[in-house]
Amino acid sequence: MLRLSVLDQSPVAEGSTGAQALHNTLDLARLADGLGYHRYWVAEHHGGPSLAGPSPEALIGPIASVTQRLRVGSGGVMLPHYSPFKVAETFSLLAGLFPGRVDLGIGRAAGTDPMTTHALQRDRRSALPDDFPEQLAELLAYYEDRIPAANPLSRLAKVLPGRPETPEVWLLGSSPQSALWAADLGLPYAFADFINPQGAEIAHLYRQEFAEALRLPDPRTAVAVWALCADSDEEAQRLASSSRMTFTLLRQGRLIPVPPPETAVRFLASEGDGLSGRRRTILGTPDAVRAGIEAAAGEYGAEEVIVVTITYDHAARRRSYELIAEAFGLAAAPSLAA
């Protein structure tokens, strides 16, 4: 059975605040928990006015505290910014507090622009080293206690605060290189179709090259898609215009909060939709969105689809996830959904 999950980027609506966006994230997580979604991931983005989630590690605890059934995790932690040991400690702590529920999704991208990347660095005398594979190997070695005894770091693996619990580690990506890393390490792989809609062959490469029995008996693929469901196709298109305007301007280097649909419709009519043909959007009524999600899952050979939705109005985003859950007949928990 196809699993459905949520990727929340904590969008900030024009005229609202980042604090309200973060409260909306907790509200949406409670709803998703009650509706029967499988996991809830929060993203890492820095230095912009449209998304309020720079620290997934800080959001996971509050989300897990207000939910009961969901797996909760990062989609993802941008590892090049951090010490592998610090990440290992943080997610060990979370796994100890919420056993069997914490995911550590790891990404390589900066999650921001070059200047903000520079501001994130502790040592700004030179650019960050390009050593992601080494960082990832060190992170996994802490959880699996595989650091050689002769290495002074070996003792650290034994004192992670959440032991014996550990998070489930995923590799995130949108390129062939990320697929090869996930395959070589035998990790589950989540592909960002909402960034690169031409990823079916990359997912196939992951499965083809997967190192069986290294960490998993079989490859596990999830695909993250952009989707928005409403009671009519016209309403879905209207609501989606806010995200289209935001990301059209983002590609031009102009960062804005998520605008109201009325503003976005006028903008797109006057300047054109810069995302046309470049970004898969699954829009429409419940039947249409279900068909689109199932088609994406089949294209990628994915056992799970992670849905990301951005709207100006939080109520519309809630309604979209409700309609998708109904369309797929997810196993709701009435007391939680209420």
Contact yes or no for 63/270 (Cβ under 8 A): no
- 26: nearest Cα among 92, 70, 89, 76: 70
Q: Answer yes or no: is 254 within a domain.
A: no
Q: Answer yes or no: is 47 within a domain.
A: yes
CA–CA separation, 328 and 331 (whole Å): 9
Task: Name the β-bridge partners of 41.
Answer: 7, 73
Query: Domains in the chain: how many in total?
Result: 1
CA distances from 117 to 30, 45, 174, 254, 304 (A): 32, 11, 20, 17, 31
% of the chain at pLDDT higher than 90 = 85
- 8: nearest Cα among 57, 58, 44, 35: 44
Q: Answer yes or no: is 107 within a domain.
A: yes
- The pLDDT assigned to 276 comes to 52
CA distances from 174 to 70, 170, 180, 200 (A): 25, 13, 11, 10
Q: Answer yes or no: is 162 within a domain.
A: yes
CA–CA separation, 279 and 101 (whole Å): 31
Name residue 215's amino acid: R
CA distances from 36 to 3, 31, 204 (A): 10, 9, 29
Contact yes or no for 306/11 (Cβ under 8 A): no
Q: Answer yes or no: is 118 within a domain.
A: yes
Sign of the CA dihedral with 86 first, then 142, 109, and 4 last:
negative
Q: What is the pLDDT of residues 293-336, one digit of tens each?
A: 999 999 999 999 999 999 999 999 999 999 999 999 998 876 65
Q: Answer yes or no: is 125 within a domain.
A: yes
Q: Give the pLDDT of the chain (338 residues) as one tens digit per residue.
A: 899 999 999 999 999 999 999 999 999 999 999 999 999 999 999 999 999 999 999 999 999 999 999 999 999 999 999 999 999 999 999 999 999 999 999 999 877 888 888 888 888 888 878 899 999 999 999 999 999 999 999 999 999 999 999 999 999 999 999 999 999 999 999 999 999 999 999 999 999 999 988 899 999 999 999 999 999 999 999 999 999 999 999 888 899 999 999 999 999 999 865 555 567 899 999 999 999 999 999 999 999 999 999 999 999 999 999 999 999 999 887 665 55
- 283: nearest Cα among 248, 330, 231, 318: 231
> Which residues span the domain enclosing 9?
3-218+311-337
In our burial notation (b when 16+ CB lie closer than 10 A, e otherwise), range 208-226 reads eebeeeeeeeebbbbbbbb
pTM of the model: 0.94
- The pLDDT assigned to 102 comes to 98
Phi/psi of residue 161, each to 5°? -65, -25
CA–CA separation, 287 and 285 (whole Å): 6
Residue linked to tokens 């059209």: 248
Q: Answer yes or no: is 251 within a domain.
A: no
Structure-token pair, residue 327:
């369309």
Q: 146: domain CATH number? A: 3.20.20.30
Q: Answer yes or no: is 134 within a domain.
A: yes
Query: What residues have CB less than 8 Å from 228, skipping those under 6 apart?
Result: 236, 239, 240, 243, 281, 282, 283, 289, 309, 311, 320
